[in-house]
Structure 1
Amino acid sequence: MPMTFFLPVSTYPDPTPTAGLLRAVDMAASLGGEVTALVHEVDIEEVRSAFAHMLIDVSAMIAAAEARSHAAAAELTAELEHLARRFRIPLTVRRARTRPDAAAALVASEARTFDCSLLMPARASDDQAAVAEAVLFQSGGPAWVFPDGEATAHLESAAVAWDGGRAAARAVRDAMPMLETVGHVTILCATDDKTIGPTSVGHLQDQLRHHGIDAEARLFTRAEQPVGAALQQAAIESGAGLMVMGAYGHSRVREFILGGATRGVLDDRRLPVFMSH
């Protein structure tokens, strides 16, 4: 049976980048899957303030914003249908309309009944970042996170970011069907980021070998670089067209804090990254 991929599409305030859509549909087709896209339109609540209406035409501003969202939804749907025909992949498009602050919870909930999600949040878009984080940490499944600009992308070689932790182990397990299809795998360990047990890498190589995957290990130091940037740079230098890594975060009283590598990769994506929590 083909894999089922869930692709959330934003229309407001920043539309999902079309370059990311291209990479997402290409990846889903390469892995023999089918895509269901959820195109989210914004529903802005009317401001109930006579004073505000005296200063500006709030109703007109809301109507204009919703019209832009609706137009973007039509354009992005047309682009998705074009890409589906180009890559000959089954596509289903759903529409949803909610308040902006309800989008992340809605998308995370919808993602729970698919094998994997496809994410491409626009740079500097807090709304799309919130949706991506909700899918990663609340959907219960893995996700591909794609760059929204030029980047390396191919299935010939993959890198695995490994620190011996739970999230990294979960990511490797979830990515195993994909890793079995690539020609070469490199295990990346940043030795100056976290202490990695001396047998941990060898055990991972044994696990991969059990699935017919010969993997070489590359140990490196990140020096002054943020760990997310250093891992991606090491992956690219190894010839990888994608990277597998665990998504790490922990909650505090009223906020969710991402781990350094997770935050760094989400903020500055240089190649497609398969992430799992």
Structure 2
Amino acid sequence: MKPQFHLPLTTHPEASSFAIIENAIQFSLHQGADLVASLAAARRHGHEAAETYSDDDEFQADRFDRDVAAQLVRHLRERAERVALDVRLVPAEAEAMSATMRLAELARAYDVTILENTELARPIIESLFFDSGRPLLLLPSGDFYGRIDNIAIAWDGSATAARAASNAYPMIQSATKATVIHECAAAPWSEDLLDRYVEALKHSGLEVALAAVHSDGEDVSTVIQDTAIEGHADLLIAGAYGHTKLREALVGGATRSLLDNLRIPTLLSH
């Protein structure tokens, strides 16, 4: 059974980069997964995207979107063909106001959705967090090799962290090493639970190290990323938005800090 990875291609509010296409291809190739690319084609004012509009500005914007979309699809197909990766392209048409919700619904059909972490993509990222029910592989800007041998798991014993670790399975089947990062003051979970989790990972065939860290007033997400990077992790696994959506919007939180300064490929799950 092959994992099915999902890559949304967008032209608005910003165009997907060629880098995210290359990264998605490499991650899919190394994990033995198929790649499904969805092309978001928003309809304006209830019309099909291909129609001619009386408003010249709107027509020009639509023509630009279609030209950019054609470039993205061409690049995707050329790169995938070069490495013999099976790629399927599916449309994701929706009214412009509901495009992010449509994308979250589409993501439910696949094991993992891959996105580049940018400020303009934040509404799409948060919609996928809350509404897709699927994990999100979030990548910093830049190129990544795609092989996942060494993973880091942000573990606080919560149901959110446990769900994130479980949802990561399609991405980590080739891993041989794991670092369990435990922020000592993060939660009151028992040491017995932590020991049991480390033991379970070892029995699964991983070489496991435990990193107990103290934030000491520093941002927790920074400490976690620093520890993962120092351990040469290829992927960080973390639960997303442990508090309510309203509370996160009002006071921020570790997840929002992570998004503001993402430096390592991270699999997030809510």
TM-score, scaled to structure 2: 0.87
Q: Is the 8 A contact 1:163 1:189 kept in 2?
A: yes
- Between the aligned partners of 1:242 and 1:234, the Cα distance in structure 2 is 12
* Cα deviation 1:177-221 (Å, max 9, x = unaligned): 544421211011222444443223211112212312231100112
Please give the residue correspondences for 1:153-164 in structure 2 after superposition, counting only pairs within 5 Å: 154-164=147-157
- Between the aligned partners of 1:107 and 1:207, the Cα distance in structure 2 is 35
- Between the aligned partners of 1:94 and 1:243, the Cα distance in structure 2 is 29
Larger deviation: 97-106 or 108-117? 97-106
* Structure 1 unpaired stretches of 5+: 47-57
Aligned residues: percent identity?
Answer: 26
- Between the aligned partners of 2:263 and 2:173, the Cα distance in structure 1 is 23
Q: Across the two proteins, how many residue pairs are aligned to each other?
A: 263
Q: What is the aligned partner in structure 1 of residue 244 from structure 2? A: 250
- Between the aligned partners of 1:85 and 1:258, the Cα distance in structure 2 is 46
Q: Is the 8 A contact 1:38 1:96 kept in 2?
A: yes
Q: Is the 8 A contact 1:170 1:246 kept in 2?
A: yes
| DSSP 3-state at the match of 1:15 | coil
* Cα deviation 1:249-277 (Å, max 9, x = unaligned): 52339x96796222122232211111222
Q: What is the aligned partner in structure 2 of residue 65 from structure 1? A: 61
- Between the aligned partners of 1:212 and 1:45, the Cα distance in structure 2 is 54
The Cα of 1:137 is off from its aligned counterpart by 2.0
- Tell me the amino acid that sits aligned with residue 166 of structure 2: R
- Between the aligned partners of 1:161 and 1:86, the Cα distance in structure 2 is 36
Q: Is the 8 A contact 2:111 2:170 kept in 1?
A: no
Q: What is the aligned partner in structure 1 of residue 183 from structure 2? A: 190
* Structure 2 unpaired stretches of 5+: 47-53
Cα pair distance change 1:152/1:96, threshold 3 Å: closer
- Tell me the amino acid that sits aligned with residue 12 of structure 1: H
Cα pair distance change 1:266/1:26, threshold 3 Å: same
- Between the aligned partners of 1:64 and 1:166, the Cα distance in structure 2 is 48
- Between the aligned partners of 1:265 and 1:245, the Cα distance in structure 2 is 10
The Cα of 1:110 is off from its aligned counterpart by 0.8
Q: What is the aligned partner in structure 2 of residue 96 from structure 1? A: 92
The Cα of 1:45 is off from its aligned counterpart by 2.9
Residue 78 of structure 1 is aligned with which of 74, 77, 81?
74
